Chains A and B, each alone.
Chain A
């Protein structure tokens, strides 16, 4: 697994649940103290970290993964990922449609980073089915968290049902609240 994924999990657990929890999870999962975001790691480590975090937090893995998805948008790296995601669509519907392109975008940004692919099927009437195409356990829950946080960012009201292999998204109101400001130009660069 690309180190970036494990590194994100590590940062998420460290920053939202504290250093002590991360140390315990890392020990239980039998992984090192930290991950380098740009180096590869054995794929099975990711699953072990998630399982250890679920045990330590007494929460189902699905909930932790969804929280991770939300954190990726709102808490990670000064909102850098949120900015990159906002480039994907001018509004929330555009963003959802672009989820299919996410793996290609990820590879553009960082060759070697393979994100789980997903088919976006627009059922009409604001109902979108996102079908996970790869057996990457838990990817749909991370995506559900990302979609929830991004809906908030765009000011859209959505209902999301996450299943292991697919997501069902109901766009109830595209302009429910105020969208967060997004400037194409990065501030201070």
Chain B
């Protein structure tokens, strides 16, 4: 094999290709630093012993030139003692005269290093992908932020769709599905149920029109919410039928007082845009003392109580037997 010797390499060649290199002589003295590294290390580095200025983190156990020479070609990790505390990685190779040339880079630490040391594009060698890495980090951050925004918008849409699925559009009360979930959520706790429908609702609808009927249902919903507690679930089950779930152990007397307030309130004339509506309500009540409820039985009992209340005349509340 013939080796064709090129022209002698100019002293600034390494500076241009590898702005982060170091040249050590056989004694381990720093003879030269590439322009970027020279700036970061400061003028005192030149002539300083390499091992006094840097600790070789990897490979372990290298504290003098023979160790570094033996580690030629291995991946080096360096930490600067004092100064800026640079962390560098790279490789050392013999320069043919007993000294070593160290080609170094910041590795992934470049993301922090550019901010901390005020580095610019000109500080990196032409083959160093540091600037591309920084591009990627920033692009990635922007895209991640967009994904986060998208997730938040989707979550908000999901929540409002979920709420809408459990809500009666006309009154804003729970709907049948919402009531089912609230009943399921009771587990084996005690609760009371009230089933009610409106007296003379059909007449209001017929005489004042459907719009008035809708307005009336909204007024009734407002009244029911006002006469119940925040933790109670008021649902419109359809038409003019309502079901109220009252969690907690409540006696028949307490439930009766709540029912009486509702009956009293709904027997007052309700003012609508097109006139005044006079309705009333009858209520069937049932108490569940706790334990796994047989929901179908409880609902049937409330329904039967409501039927009994209506049989006694309007504006009555009856507790299921």
Contact = CB atoms under 8 A, between A and B. Distances in A.
Interface in A156-189: 183-186, 189
A84 B137 CA distance: 10
A36 interface: yes
A38 interface: yes
B227 interface: no
A59 interface: no
B139 interface: yes
Interface string B207-222: 0000000000000000
A57 to B, nearest CB: 28
Contact of A110 (B121, B131, B139): B139
The A interface, classified by DSSP as helix, strand, loop or mixed, is loop
B121 A36 contact: no
Nearest to A187: B115
A34 to B, nearest CB: 10
A20 interface: no
Interface in B212-263: none
Contacts of A108: 135-136, 139
Contacts of B70: none
A40 to B, nearest CB: 13
For chain B, which range describes its interface: under 10, 10 to 19, 20 to 34, or 35 or more residues?
20 to 34
Interface residues of A, number: 20
Contact of B134 (A37, A109, A110, A184): A184
A17 interface: no
Given A83-B138, A105-B135, A109-B136, A185 B114 contact: yes
A80 B142 contact: yes
B157 to A, nearest CB: 11
A88 interface: yes
Contacts of A185: 114-115, 118
Nearest to B151: A38
B252 to A, nearest CB: 54
A77 interface: yes
B102 to A, nearest CB: 23
A187 to B, nearest CB: 9
Contact of A184 (B119, B140, B146, B150): B119
A87 interface: yes
Given A184-B121, A185-B115, A87 B150 contact: no
Contacts of B141: 186, 189
Given A38-B147, A185-B118, 4 more contacts: A39-B150, A84-B135, A183-B118, A184-B121
